[in-house]
């Protein structure tokens, strides 16, 4: 038989329930129930006042009465306790909590439990997970480390949800913060985390997809509207035009994502120190209607932002002026601290590198020398190395002052003149007039400085400094011709006040007009000072060495500099006051010692220069912060200008060091190429050297340019935000919005009863299903709004109602068949329990299953918050389930098996029954390990079998065993122990996942473990009755 | 090995009856009545509907097949480039339909009447005729025209009944769910064909689920897990997803070496007893009943499933036949071979998905149909043909019904320059094996492949055919309080039955 047109008629007719409504243009929009704002309905008169505890019961009783339904009696106390625990905090009561409740005869015993549970931090973890379903929480996912979906650090939003619930933040406030915290609380990091709601929609490959998701799910989650159905054409069922879809999109059009640091010191976007948040980037970015939803085919005129007219109200955005820290996040104190800390950490790294390079160089030299000695020594007559000091590399810094050498020195303030082959400095006064080497000096070195002091006001000091970082950080060695205090001195500067240790001073006459050769040998922290070849002073520095440059200077002295020469100090030279080095024998033989020396020298030089670079960068950052603060102060600080100039100079100086580093690498590469005889390559490399030389010169030339221009340390964003999202948030949470409160309370209701009042939880439109009890829904919605959108109050109202407290199954009593008969009658009338003549039996959600296994075994770790945990660790880690990674294709398998939320969309959980769930409970290491742990624990206090069985039931199932159960379990304990004693015949299962807790050796104890394991698999464990 | 369904019924019943031993009362009666075990002993008044009786698990009419392998191509396979070639497309390619001699196609009452558009105008009648992107030729003794993208399936054409006259009501991918349930995703979930079979026949295999799902199911857009769900029939009738991986056929398949087999058996005995007490306590809890069954099945599955998926045990020639030696065919080949092994072991409904991509499906060829379909056909053609040949050589094809289907066809006109749009007005599927004639074509579309014009079949006719061949009367598959419409039952395709 074929379908004649007539059969098609049947088909179409049969589909009237969803087709018939599809005439949006003709029906007055206000006609649909959900588009009319709820008003508080009159509470129906209760015919059985003893039954009704609060208005919820009155509404439910009225509907029930209409249909001739008889309510089931209240649930048993233990059933109710377990139900309300799992409902409110997602974990069952312990045995002790059960006993406390059963023993509390006070009339408000139950209410006390409810209040305690609502005050528990676990409440936020339970209900946070529910709202994470609705708001589509997803951790980031992508290909390897590439972020494709959602964003790293979105967990801060998860923690915000949980904390907000625990703090009983009003629902409307939460909605406002999720949509527009950057506009309504731009300086509040806690609130900004809420915008993870939007950040979660990030999709690497298409901004259109991202915006479509935001439109779809903002509308489904808060409004119960399928706005997404109007993307390609006017909505088929609801009076929502395609234009309105795009106007809704326009609200979000300007938004972008960025992250800023909230703790710690890292610029890694995946580092947990970052907060992901939204901001409006481009207020003028247009939104077009895409014809047929095709983004390649935009309509011509851009659309203003708007909200669907059918809901009522209008969108009135006001531009928001942002505080400076919002548009210039570099000004946030944490950002400043982090920038400096990051620079410090670079310095520490560079110092460590330099230390390593130093050690490597010393080792390489030692090796090279040993090889050299061995080569000139008869193998048969090895003697202690008394060979003359080998020729060292020539001076790393050397000048005879015959002419200016800008390639060697940075010249400081002073009156400088070249005369008679010498450099004269004639400006006196208590200030160092110095030349600072551009190049660093080796760590261990010998410096010889020949000069003459010709005059001065009082101190008449001339000398050199090493480890010179800046004017305040250096070690100085000098001679002073001060008339009453002539001396040779080692002085320390690590801060603005220099230290002149008494033990680092030798009084000696210093004549004006005489040449002196001041020689400083430095090895590690040991300094030997020679004057005119005579050893004068051996001093051990009280502090670790820093790296730096060499400076030569005159302090309150006129002087003539004759020559200076700095050479590396050979490793085997022993300075006075030095203990024997212990490293000598540990050197690894190198293949080619000379080559190795050259390579390590190069590395050492690079490390030395790099340290200078990062030090310069730190100075630049500090100056940049100072300039930022002055410039962005309100009003700008008077010294802003000079600070900006200074910041610019230091930044350019840092750039110069960067250029020098680059040059050095090129020079070294050229030298290597040249040494290896590859001429072509050497020529190439030489070209690069020349280019970089130019760059260095250019960078140097820029340093002293007087300009206010400097690079701010952070990025500047728009100083205003469009206010569109704030306006949306206001509209959404307005008392007159007909949908928001209804949709929210419907979600809350569903999670207490298993079934919602409006079955289509994300579609309150015409294609959705009508509420089973609209007066109840409306009363709850109005109550919700008028009690300040406080969710805890609504939970309390619901779980203390008589409706909630009903049993889910009739009592089985062979002597009294009435309840069963009433039940059967009710089932005939309302099989699906739409009108709540009983509670619904539910299966725990995935998270509750896992958390409860851990809880009953006393293992659950209730620690709150933090970055998402590895999804593979969920079978061994005792943290609550909602803290494990949840992203498309990255979920905890155990949770997936129990219908865990799809991160893409989950307005309502499935409740399947699958053999895989049975396998997960019977075979997973989670169930096995926790059963064993609980058996050990209970066994200690309950040596008696009967007591053990009772304790096990109470702890695992929150109820005592029935007589049948007790008998069966007692028999099991005996039989199972016997079975386990037959060791010869026992067969093990094949390899599976490792269980962290081994079974007991004692067959009796092992039987007890098995009993607990069975109870975890009992239907009553995963069921909320 | 042949399976006698009537023999296979006993252990399941015995198990359920065991539950009640020693217990009496209304509660137990309700439980057993629900399961159709003691129905006859109850007064008529206790029945929800006097006319209704639950399925016994036995065939209602003489069965022609014992099991079904249901191959579903997700996204919409082009019918004109698979099993319904249309030379007129080449002839008038580039012209609009209105310019061709087949202008009247657009005036057909079918155009509006059999179509419900969720998003009106989203998928237009693509007016410009697009030539076939692949050649075709007559195949086999029957000479049925098959596209060159299916050379291997073409080899088997004499065992196949091609149905060229399918139509459906919706032109978006909610039609994927529709093909399984008879209703579009918009109308919510309903029992799928696999779950009806499961409900109607009960379990034939003691060690395996009777309704197995291989491959990745529909994305959430298009039905998601409801595509193999049982909805109001109850979760125990849901399809069970298995991986074709012997190391990991299903999660937690073993408790590991710290547990003894005898120890688990002891536990299972106690669990059975405790759940039995619960059944008396909570007679009206369908979840409890389902959970009891799920545990029984789970314990047996943990032993049997890894063995099923050990495809390397197969003769190398068989592995090669299914294309396990080639990258392009390996994935789907493994699924087809696993399907055969499951069929051998008594699984009644094996649903194999191909082309899941987290969205509308890989076959959804809005553009680049030539490259797309070429690749997808080369993934599936050889494995599907191998399945037919393998079943045949084992003598299993006579009792195994193989269904190849997709949610709709693709437009005779072009979308963009090189694609075809969704086409619900006429498309092709095929069936082979148990109770079906080979080498026949049933029904036809018009010259352009636009409308199904002869022996038109809505998707539930496929369900009716499957059920009939399995010995079930679709009209008896009803549950009180759940109204099924005329269209939900469908009508068997008598014309293809052997």
Higher pLDDT, B456 or A700: B456
Residue B227, burial from CB neighbour count under 10 angstroms (0-12, 13-18, 19+) = buried
ipTM of the complex: 0.70
Mutate to test the interface with B, among A822, A989, A998 (most CBs of B within 10 A): A989
Higher pLDDT, B40 or A185: A185
Cβ pair A841:B264 closer than 8 A: no
Across the interface, which of A8, A919, A1014 has its CB nearest the CB of B114? A8
- Residue A670: the pLDDT is 87
Across the interface, which of A897, A904, A1014 has its CB nearest the CB of B220? A904
Across the interface, which of A897, A990, A1013 has its CB nearest the CB of B267? A1013
If pLDDT is split at 50, 70 and 90, which confidence band does B204 have? low
Percentage of chain B lying above the pLDDT 70 cut:
85
Mutate to test the interface with A, among B122, B173, B249, B291 (most CBs of A within 10 A): B291
pLDDT in tens, B255-275: 989 999 999 999 999 999 999
Structure tokens, A910: 């499935």
Average pLDDT over residues A985-992: 88
Mutate to test the interface with A, among B270, B302, B464 (most CBs of A within 10 A): B270
Range with lowest mean pLDDT among A210-219, A589-598, A700-709, A850-859: A589-598
Average pLDDT over residues A697-726: 89
**CB proximity under 8 Å: B 213-232 to A:** 220, 224-225, 229
Q: Which residues of A touch B260 (CB under 8 A)?
A: 980, 986-989
If pLDDT is split at 50, 70 and 90, which confidence band does A391 have? very low
Mutate to test the interface with A, among B47, B113, B119 (most CBs of A within 10 A): B119
If pLDDT is split at 50, 70 and 90, which confidence band does A274 have? confident
Say how far apart CA B209 and CA B342 lie, in whole Å: 10
Structure tokens, A823: 């039940």
pLDDT in tens, B438-488: 999 999 999 999 999 999 999 999 999 999 999 999 888 888 767 788 889
Cβ pair A841:B253 closer than 8 A: no
Q: Give the DSSP per-residue string, B81-98.
A: TTT---HHHHHTTTSBTT
Average pLDDT over residues A862-875: 92
Residue A582 pLDDT > 60: no
Q: How far is CA A248 from the centre of its chain?
A: 31
**Cα A137-A140-A143 angle, rounded to 5 deg:** 145
Residue A466 pLDDT > 80: yes
- Residue A594: the pLDDT is 67
Cβ pair B456:A2 closer than 8 A: yes
pLDDT in tens, A126-166: 999 999 999 999 999 876 678 889 999 999 999 999 999 99
Ranges assigned E (strand) in A205-254: none
Q: Which residues of B touch A293 (CB under 8 A)?
A: 122
pLDDT in tens, A75-84: 999 999 999 9
Say how far apart CA B341 and CA A839 lie, in whole Å: 45
How confident is the prediction for chain A on average, in pLDDT? 87
Cβ pair A914:B240 closer than 8 A: yes
- Residue A631: the pLDDT is 87
Cβ pair B458:A1013 closer than 8 A: no
- Residue B254: the pLDDT is 87
Q: What is the pTM of this model?
A: 0.68
Instruction: State how far residue B289 is from chain A, nearest Cα, in angstroms.
Output: 10
pLDDT in tens, A421-442: 899 998 888 888 999 998 888 8
Across the interface, which of B236, B299, B487 has its CB nearest the CB of A10? B487
Cβ pair A1020:B481 closer than 8 A: no
Instruction: State how far residue A205 is from chain B, nearest Cα, in angstroms.
Output: 15
Across the interface, which of B120, B292, B486 has its CB nearest the CB of A7? B486
Say how far apart CA A865 and CA A158 lie, in whole Å: 8
> What is the widest separation between alpha-carbon atoms in chain B?
79
Cβ pair B302:A923 closer than 8 A: yes
Residue B26 pLDDT > 80: no
Partner A contacted by B22 (CB < 8 A): no
pLDDT in tens, A396-418: 888 889 888 888 888 888 888 88
Q: How far is CA B352 from the centre of its chain?
A: 7
Q: A758 with A767: CB under 8 angstroms?
A: no
Helix (H), strand (E) at residue A696: helix A679-703
If pLDDT is split at 50, 70 and 90, which confidence band does A88 have? very high
Partner A contacted by B479 (CB < 8 A): no
Across the interface, which of B261, B288, B485 has its CB nearest the CB of A1019? B288
Instruction: State how far residue B47 is from chain A, nearest Cα, in angstroms.
Output: 10
Cβ pair B253:A922 closer than 8 A: no
Q: Which residues of A touch B267 (CB under 8 A)?
A: 922, 976, 1010, 1013-1014, 1017
Range with lowest mean pLDDT among A69-73, A266-270, A594-598: A266-270
Say how far apart CA A174 and CA A789 lie, in whole Å: 10
Residue A365 pLDDT > 50: yes
Say how far apart CA A219 and CA A239 lie, in whole Å: 14
Instruction: State how far residue B336 is from chain A, nearest Cα, in angstroms.
Output: 22
Across the interface, which of A14, A292, A923 has its CB nearest the CB of B487? A14
Cβ pair B27:A812 closer than 8 A: yes
Average pLDDT over residues B77-101: 96
Instruction: State how far residue B159 is from chain A, nearest Cα, in angstroms.
Output: 24
Structure tokens, A166: 């625990």
Cβ pair A5:B109 closer than 8 A: yes
Cβ pair A976:B120 closer than 8 A: no
Say how far apart CA A237 and CA A660 lie, in whole Å: 70
pLDDT in tens, B393-418: 999 999 999 999 999 999 999 998 89
Residue A223 pLDDT > 80: yes
Cα dihedral A372→A374→A377→A380 (10° resolution):
-170
| Cβ neighbours around A23 below 10 Å, total | 12
- Residue A374: the pLDDT is 55
pLDDT in tens, A31-85: 799 999 999 999 999 888 788 999 999 999 999 999 999 999 999 999 999 999 9
Percentage of chain A lying above the pLDDT 90 cut:
58
Average pLDDT over residues B168-197: 87
Q: A619 with A654: CB under 8 angstroms?
A: yes
Instruction: State how far residue B321 is from chain A, nearest Cα, in angstroms.
Output: 32
Strand bridging mode B211-214 / B349-354:
parallel
Across the interface, which of B24, B255, B485 has its CB nearest the CB of A992? B255
3-state secondary structure A521-535: EEECCEEEEEECCEE
Say how far apart CA B343 and CA B403 lie, in whole Å: 14
Q: Which residues of B touch A1014 (CB under 8 A)?
A: 267, 270-271, 274
Partner A contacted by B205 (CB < 8 A): no
Instruction: State how far residue B387 is from chain A, nearest Cα, in angstroms.
Output: 28
If pLDDT is split at 50, 70 and 90, which confidence band does A731 have? very high
Cβ pair A922:B298 closer than 8 A: yes
Residue A946 pLDDT > 70: yes
Cβ pair A918:B275 closer than 8 A: no
Range with lowest mean pLDDT among A369-373, A596-600, B349-353: A369-373
- Residue A430: the pLDDT is 81
Average pLDDT over residues A201-225: 93
Cβ pair B274:A965 closer than 8 A: yes
If pLDDT is split at 50, 70 and 90, which confidence band does A270 have? low
- Residue A635: the pLDDT is 84
Partner A contacted by B248 (CB < 8 A): no
Question: At which residue do the structure tokens 């059999």 appear?
Answer: B114
Residue A371 pLDDT > 70: no
Higher pLDDT, A656 or B71: B71
Instruction: State how far residue A814 is from chain B, nearest Cα, in angstroms.
Output: 7
Residue in A124, A123, A166, A118 with CA at minimum distance from that of residue A796: A118
Residue A21 pLDDT > 50: no
Strand bridging mode B67-73 / A1023-1024:
unpaired
Partner A contacted by B255 (CB < 8 A): yes
- Residue B45: the pLDDT is 31
Structure tokens, A162: 């949980």
If pLDDT is split at 50, 70 and 90, which confidence band does A292 have? confident
Cβ pair B255:A989 closer than 8 A: yes
**CB proximity under 8 Å: B 422-461 to A:** 455-458
If pLDDT is split at 50, 70 and 90, which confidence band does A372 have? low
If pLDDT is split at 50, 70 and 90, which confidence band does B87 have? very high
Higher pLDDT, B172 or B27: B172
Structure tokens, A592: 């080619």
pLDDT in tens, A144-155: 678 889 999 999
If pLDDT is split at 50, 70 and 90, which confidence band does A377 have? very low
Between chain A and chain B, the number of residue pairs with CB atoms below 8 A apart is 246
pLDDT in tens, A833-843: 999 999 999 99
Question: At which residue do the structure tokens 């969920």 appear?
Answer: A874
Nearest CA in chain B to A1015: B271
């Amino acid at each position: 038989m074929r379908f004649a047109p007539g059969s098609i008629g049947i088909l179409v007719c049969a589909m009237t329930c969803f087709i018939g409504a599809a005439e949006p243009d003709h029906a007055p929009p206000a006609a649909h129930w959900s588009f009319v704002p709820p008003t508080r309905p009159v509470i129906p008169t209760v015919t059985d006042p003893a039954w009704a505890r609060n208005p919820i019961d009155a509404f439910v009783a009225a509907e029930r009465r209409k249909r001739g339904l008889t309510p089931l009696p209240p649930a048993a106390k233990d059933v109710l306790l377990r139900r309300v625990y799992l409902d409110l905090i997602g974990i069952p009561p312990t045995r002790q909590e059960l006993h406390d409740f059963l023993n509390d005869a006070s009339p408000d015993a139950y209410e006390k439990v409810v209040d305690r549970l609502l005050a528990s931090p676990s409440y936020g973890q339970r209900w946070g997970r529910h709202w994470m379903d609705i708001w589509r929480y997803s951790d980031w996912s992508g290909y390897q480390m590439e972020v494709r979906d959602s964003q790293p650090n979105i967990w801060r939003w998860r923690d915000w949800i949980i904390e907000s619930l625990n703090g009983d933040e009003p629902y409307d406030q939460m909605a406002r913060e999720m949509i527009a915290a950057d506009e309504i609380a731009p300086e509040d990091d806690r609130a900004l985390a809420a915008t993870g709601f939007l950040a979660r929609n990030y999709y690497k490959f298409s901004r259109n997809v991202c915006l479509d998701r935001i439109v779809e799910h903002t509308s489904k989650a808060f409004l119960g509207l399928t706005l997404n159905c109007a993307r390609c054409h006017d909505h088929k069922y609801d009076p929502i035009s395609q234009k309105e879809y795009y106007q809704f999109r326009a609200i979000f059009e300007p938004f972008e994502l960025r992250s800023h640091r909230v703790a710690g010191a890292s610029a890694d976007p995946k580092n947990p120190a970052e907060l992901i948040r939204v901001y409006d980037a481009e207020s003028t970015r247009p939104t077009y209607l895409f014809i047929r939803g095709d983004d390649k085919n935009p309509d011509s005129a851009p659309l203003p932002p708007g909200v669907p007219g059918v809901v009522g109200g209008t969108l009135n955005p006001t531009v928001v002026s942002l505080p400076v820290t919002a548009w210039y996040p570099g000004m946030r104190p944490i950002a400043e601290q982090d920038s400096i800390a990051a620079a410090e950490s670079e310095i520490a790294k560079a110092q460590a590198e330099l230390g390593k390079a130093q050690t490597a160089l010393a080792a390489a030299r030692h090796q090279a020398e040993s090889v050299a000695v061995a080569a000139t020594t008869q193998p048969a007559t090895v003697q202690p190395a008394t060979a003359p000091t080998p020729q060292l590399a020539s001076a790393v810094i050397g000048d005879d002052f015959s002419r200016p050498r800008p390639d060697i020195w940075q010249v400081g303030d002073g009156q400088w003149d070249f005369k008679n082959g010498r450099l004269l400095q004639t400006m006196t006064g208590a200030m160092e007039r110095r030349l600072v080497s551009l190049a660093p000096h080796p760590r261990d070195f010998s410096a010889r400085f020949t000069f003459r002091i010709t005059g001065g006001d009082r101190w008449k000091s001339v000398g050199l400094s090493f480890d010179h970082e800046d004017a305040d950080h250096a070690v100085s060695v000098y001679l002073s011709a001060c008339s009453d205090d002539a001396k040779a001195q080692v002085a320390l500067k690590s801060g603005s006040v220099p230290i002149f240790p008494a033990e680092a001073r030798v009084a000696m006459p210093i004549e004006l007009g005489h040449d002196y050769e001041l020689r400083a040998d430095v090895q590690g922290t040991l300094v030997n000072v020679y004057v005119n070849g005579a050893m004068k002073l051996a001093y051990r520095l009280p502090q670790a060495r820093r790296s730096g440059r060499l400076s030569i200077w005159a302090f309150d002295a006129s002087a003539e500099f004759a020559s200076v020469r700095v050479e590396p100090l050979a490793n085997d030279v022993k300075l006075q006051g030095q203990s024997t080095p212990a490293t000598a024998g540990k050197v690894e033989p190198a293949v080619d010692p000379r080559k190795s020396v050259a390579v390590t020298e190069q590395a050492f030089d690079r490390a030395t220069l790099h340290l200078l670079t990062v030090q310069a960068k730190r100075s630049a950052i500090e100056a940049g912060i100072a300039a930022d603060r002055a410039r962005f102060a309100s009003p700008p600080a008077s010294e802003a200008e000079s600070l900006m100039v200074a910041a610019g100079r230091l930044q350019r100086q840092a750039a110069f060091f960067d250029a020098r580093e680059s040059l050095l690498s090129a020079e070294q590469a050229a030298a290597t190429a040249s040494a290896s005889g590859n001429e072509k390559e050497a020529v190439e490399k030489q070209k690069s050297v020349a280019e970089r030389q130019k760059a260095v010169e250019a960078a140097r030339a820029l340093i002293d340019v007087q300009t206010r221009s400097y690079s701010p340390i952070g990025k500047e964003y728009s100083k205003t935000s469009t206010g569109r999202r704030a306006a949306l948030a206001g509209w959404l949470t307005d008392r007159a919005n007909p949908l928001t409160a209804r949709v929210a309370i419907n979600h809350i209701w569903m999670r207490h009863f298993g079934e919602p009042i409006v079955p289509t939880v994300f579609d309150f439109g015409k294609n959705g299903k009508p509420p089973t009890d609209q007066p109840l829904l409306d009363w709850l919605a109005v109550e919700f709004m008028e009690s300040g959108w406080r969710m805890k109050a609504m939970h309390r109202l619901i779980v203390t109602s008589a409706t909630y407290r009903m049993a889910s199954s009739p009592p089985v009593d062979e002597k009294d068949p009435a309840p069963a008969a009433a039940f059967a009658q009710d089932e005939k009338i309302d099989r699906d329990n739409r009108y709540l003549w009983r509670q619904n039996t539910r299966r725990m959600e995935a998270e509750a299953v896992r958390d409860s296994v851990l809880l009953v075994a006393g293992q659950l770790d209730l620690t709150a918050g933090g970055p998402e945990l590895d999804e593979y660790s969920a079978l061994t880690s005792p943290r609550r389930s909602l803290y494990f990674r949840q992203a498309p294709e990255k979920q905890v398998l155990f949770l997936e098996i129990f219908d865990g939320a799809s991160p893409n969309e989950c307005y309502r959980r499935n409740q399947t029954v699958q053999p895989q769930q049975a396998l997960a409970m019977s075979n997973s290491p989670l169930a096995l390990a926790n059963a064993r742990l609980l058996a050990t624990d209970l066994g200690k206090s309950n040596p008696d079998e009967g007591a053990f069985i009772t304790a096990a039931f109470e702890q695992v199932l929150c109820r005592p065993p029935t007589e049948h159960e007790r008998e069966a379990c007692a028999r099991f304990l005996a039989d199972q122990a016997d079975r386990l004693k037959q060791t010869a015949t026992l067969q093990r299962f094949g390899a599976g996942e490792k269980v962290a807790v081994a079974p007991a050796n004692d067959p009796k104890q092992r039987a007890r473990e098995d009993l607990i394991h069975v109870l975890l698999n009992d239907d009553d464990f995963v069921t909320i009755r | 090995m042949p399976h006698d369904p009537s023999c296979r019924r006993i252990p399941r019943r015995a198990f359920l009856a065991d539950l009640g031993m020693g217990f009496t009362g209304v509660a137990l009666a309700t439980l057993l009545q629900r399961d159709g075990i003691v129905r006859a002993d109850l007064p008529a008044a206790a029945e929800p509907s006097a006319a209704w009786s639950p399925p016994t698990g036995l065939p209602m009419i003489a069965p022609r097949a014992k099991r079904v392998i249901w191959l579903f191509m997700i996204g919409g396979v082009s019918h004109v480039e698979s099993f319904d070639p249309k030379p007129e497309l080449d002839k008038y390619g580039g012209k609009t339909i209105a310019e061709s001699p087949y202008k009247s196609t657009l005036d057909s009452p079918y155009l509006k009447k059999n179509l419900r558009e969720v998003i009106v105008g989203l998928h237009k009648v693509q007016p410009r005729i697009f030539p076939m992107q692949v050649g075709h030729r007559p195949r086999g003794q029957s000479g049925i025209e098959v596209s060159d993208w299916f050379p291997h399936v073409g080899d088997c054409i004499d065992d196949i009944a091609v149905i060229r006259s399918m139509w459906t009501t919706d032109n978006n991918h909610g039609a994927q769910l529709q093909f399984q349930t008879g209703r579009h995703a918009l109308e919510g979930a309903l029992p799928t064909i696999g779950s009806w079979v499961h409900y109607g026949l009960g379990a034939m295999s003691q060690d395996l689920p009777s309704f197995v799902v291989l491959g990745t199911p529909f994305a959430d857009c298009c039905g998601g897990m409801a595509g193999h769900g049982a909805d109001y029939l109850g979760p125990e009738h849901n399809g069970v997803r298995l991986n074709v991986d012997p190391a990991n056929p299903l999660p937690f398949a073993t408790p590991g070496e710290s547990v003894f087999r005898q120890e688990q058996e002891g536990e299972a005995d106690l669990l059975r007893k405790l759940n039995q007490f619960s059944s008396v306590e909570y007679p009206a809890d369908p979840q409890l009943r389902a959970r009891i069954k799920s545990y029984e099945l789970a314990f047996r599955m943990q032993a049997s499933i890894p063995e099923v998926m050990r495809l390397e045990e197969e003769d190398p020639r068989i592995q090669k036949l299914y294309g396990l030696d080639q990258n392009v065919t390996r994935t789907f080949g493994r699924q087809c071979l696993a399907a055969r092994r499951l069929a051998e072991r008594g699984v009644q409904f094996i649903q194999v998905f191909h082309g899941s991509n987290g969205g509308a499906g890989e076959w959804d060829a809005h553009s680049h149909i030539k490259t797309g379909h070429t690749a997808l056909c080369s993934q599936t053609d050889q494995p599907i043909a191998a399945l037919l040949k393998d079943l045949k050589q084992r003598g299993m094809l006579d009792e195994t019904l193989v269904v190849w289907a997709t949610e709709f066809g693709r437009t005779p006109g072009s979308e963009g320059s090189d694609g075809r749009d969704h086409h619900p007005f006429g498309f092709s599927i095929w069936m082979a094996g148990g109770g079906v004639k080979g080498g026949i074509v049933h029904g036809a579309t018009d010259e352009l492949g636009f409308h199904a014009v002869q022996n038109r079949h809505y998707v539930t006719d496929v369900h009716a055919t499957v059920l009939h061949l399995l010995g079930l009367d679709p009209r008896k598959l009803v549950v009180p309080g759940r109204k099924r419409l005329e269209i939900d039952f469908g009508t068997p395709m008598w014309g293809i039955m052997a």
